[in-house]
Amino acid sequence: MRYIIHLTFKCNLDCEYCYITKSNKTLTLETAKNIIDFIFKYMPSGEKIEILFTGGEPLIEFELLKQIMYLIKLQNSLENRNIKFSVITNGTIFSKEIKKFLSENNFSLCISCDGPPDIHDIMRCFPDKNKSSHLVERTLKEAVNIFPELSVHSIYHPATFKRLHHVVEYIASIGVKNIYLNPDFSARWTKRDADVLPSIYNEIAKWYLTYSQKNNRLYINLIDNKMEVIQRGGYVSSDKCQPGIKALAFSPSGDIYPCERFITEFSNKENCIGDIYNGIRLERIIFKNNELNFQEKCVFCDIKNFCMNWCCCSNYLTSGFYNRTGPFLCASEKTAINTALNIYKTLKGNLSQSVFI
């Protein structure tokens, strides 16, 4: 079960593709206490639990994060729980005190970085247009020694995706072992963009194979996640996030959303499924149908079992429907699956059983 707590809608950056409507709205300590009580009251037993702190930029509210961790430690049932704490940050705020606190509390750290400075700074600047890459690079270099499982989330965009292999090479050169590449779903992707994806993913594949053959462990979601799924014969229901059932995201007001990417504090609350005071309105969890993809193109698709067409959030952002996959996402999934299959065959020999061909 994943719980995502938005500490604030404030952010010191002004990334062009940001989906957060920024404001000064910040969690109060009282609401934070109610969220923690809500989480521990309904937390399922016997499951791995992740509590992720995000924003805006959550480390702007570092003092609040410390206070929330104190509240969590007061929970009676804490010791019997298998809880992982994580924070996702833009990497521009990373003091000695923050490092020490996150390390002492066994946080998993995820830093957003779009690649080398000339790529990163296209989208991820401060409001005055000053660049942020030098700060992020410094944070990555410091963090990788303290957090061996450090992960980097990198967003690619029509203006940057043709250099995706440079993104991977740069992040890996810093020593990061977990790289998550995701498209900016809200961007205006064209058919021409989709058509060049195979050559782009192929560049990454060639580099990945050389890297792997030197026995360096590296996880790239586009490749490794798909290889795991291919090995298992397809996604199983426990892989699927089931927003609103296996994931709950809390806004600074205490509203509850089925996925962090749907959160807003403003007028468009159509994806809100309840709040910490009145509970979850089950009828709002339309997302429980997320295992179904009604599009004909998916029903008859040979690779549907390996496709993430069940991510209702990506679907919504790319097509406007929870259960319809937009054309670029479909092309990206097809390309990622084929790329991973080719790498799998190269690394592990021919598949012993038919996967989908």
> Which residues of the shown chain bind ligand SF4 in the complex (CB under 6 A)?
11, 13-15, 18, 20, 55-57, 90, 112, 241, 243, 247, 259, 261, 297-298, 301, 303-304, 307, 309, 311-314, 325, 330, 333-334
Query: Among all chains, which residue has been given the structure tokens 């989330």?
Result: 153
Whose Cβ is closer to ligand SF4: residue 243's or residue 254's?
A: 243
Residue number with CB closer to ligand SF4 (30 or 128): 128
Residue 187 Cβ vs ligand SF4, minimum distance, rounded to whole Å: 13
Minimum distance, C-beta of residue 349 to ligand SF4, in the bound complex (Å):
25
Q: Is 212 exposed, middle or buried (0-12, 13-18, 19+ CB in 10 A)?
A: middle
The residue (of 152 and 301) whose beta carbon lies closer to ligand SF4 is: 301
Please state the closest distance from residue 258 (CB atom) to ligand SF4, in A. 7
List Cβ<8 Å contacts ≥24 apart for 139-142: 139/91, 139/92, 139/94, 139/111, 140/91, 140/111, 140/113, 140/171, 140/174, 140/176, 141/174, 142/94, 142/99
Between 143 and 307, CB nearer to ligand SF4: 307
For ligand SF4, the closer CB: 6 or 163? 6
Closest distance to ligand SF4 from the beta carbon of 182 (Å) = 9
- Least Å from the CB of residue 192 to ligand SF4: 18
Q: How far is 88 from 285, CA to CA, in rounded Å?
A: 26
Q: Concatenate the DSSP letters of all residues of 258-269 into one string.
A: SSGGG--SSS--
122 and 13 Cβ atoms separated by less than 8 Å: no
Q: Which residues contact 260 (CB under 8 A, 6 or more apart)?
A: 4, 6, 52, 54, 249
Q: Closest approach of Cβ 350 to ligand SF4, in Å?
A: 23
Q: Which is nearer to ligand SF4, 43 or 71 (CB)?
A: 43
